[in-house]
Amino acid sequence: MKKSSSLQVDRRRVTDQIMDSLVRMIANGKLKPGDKLPPEHELMKQFGVGRSSLREAIGALSLLGLLTVQSGHGTHVSASSDRFLTKPLKWGMLTMGRDKLHELIEARIVIETAIVGMAAERATEEDLAEIRHHHARMASAKKRGKRTIQADLGFHSALAKASHNSVLMRFLSGLRQPMRNWMEQKASFNWGYDEVIEQHDAIVKAIEAKNIEKAQSALRKHLESVGERLTTALLERRLT
C-alpha cells in the first residue's frame, strides 16, 4: 500500500481502521448527521483501500446504526449519530469489524438461549399471554404491510421477562439499541417476515409445551439464520 496520504490505513487491520476513520470524521463534525458520504471510488482513493474492505466497514457501521445505506441513494450519516456516539456501550461497538459483528450475534445467542430456556421452564400464563400478544402484533403488522420493529422488540423483551431472571433481563436491555438497529436494517431489505414469524411461532410453541431443548434450538436457529442473512446482505449492498 502506498503511504502518500495520512488518511491511508495499514493493511493489518484495514476494515477496523476504515471504521475508526469514519467514526472520527463524524465525531469531529467533518461528516454531520444527514450528510451523504463521498462515492465509493473516492473513499477507496482517500483511504487507499480496496472495495471489499470499504464495503465491509460501511456494512458494519450500517448494521450498528451509525450509517444508513439505501440502494440508489447512497450512504448517509444517520440522523441519530450524535446521540449514538454519546453512549459508551455503542461507542465500544463502533470499533467492530466483521469478526466482532459475529461476536455480537454470538452474544445474543448465548444470552437469549439462556433466557428462552428459563422462559420455557418458568413462564406463567400471564407471561405466555404477553409473548403471544407481541407475536400476534408482528404477524398482523406484516399482513398490513406495516413495520414490525416494535412488535419484534416486544417479543424478545417478553421472552426475557418470562425468564424471571433480572440479571439476564438487564443484559438484554443493554443490547436493546443494537437490536433495534439490527431490526431496522433487516426491515430495510424488504425480505418479508414470513420466515421470521414462522421461527417466532416455533419458539412460542416450545415455550407453551415447556420444552426447554426445543425452545433453545428454535431460538438459536432464528438468530443464526437472520444474523447470517443480514450480515451478508449489508456487505453486498451497493454503496452508490
Q: Classify domain 99-236 at the CATH superfamily level.
A: GntR ligand-binding domain-like (1.20.120.530)
Residue scoring higher pLDDT (42 or 10) = 42
Look at phi and psi of residue 96 and say left if phi exceeds 0, alpha if psi is from -120 to 50, else beta. Answer: beta
| pLDDT band with cut points at 50, 70 and 90 for residue 95 | very low
Residue scoring higher pLDDT (83 or 29) = 29
pLDDT given for residue 64 in this prediction: 67
Which residue intervals of the chain bear CATH 1.20.120.530?
99-236
Tens digits of residue pLDDT in 149-199: 889 999 999 999 999 999 899 888 877 777 777 777 666 666 667 888 999
For residue 141, which of 154, 128, 158, 159 has the smallest C-alpha distance?
154
What are the φ and ψ backbone dihedral angles of 31, each rounded to 5 degrees?
Answer: -120, 125
For residue 43, which of 33, 31, 34 has the smallest C-alpha distance?
31
Encoded amino acid at 208, one letter? E
- Share of residues in the chain with pLDDT > 90 (%): 35
* Three-state secondary-structure class, residue 75: strand
CATH level 3 topology of 11-90: Arc Repressor Mutant, subunit A (1.10.10)
pTM of the prediction?
0.60
Q: What's the rounded Cα separation, in Å, for the pair 17 and 49?
A: 10
Which residue intervals of the chain bear CATH 1.10.10.10?
11-90
End-to-end CA distance of the chain: 25
pLDDT given for residue 101 in this prediction: 63
Q: Which residue has the cell 481502521?
A: 17
Residue scoring higher pLDDT (95 or 84) = 84
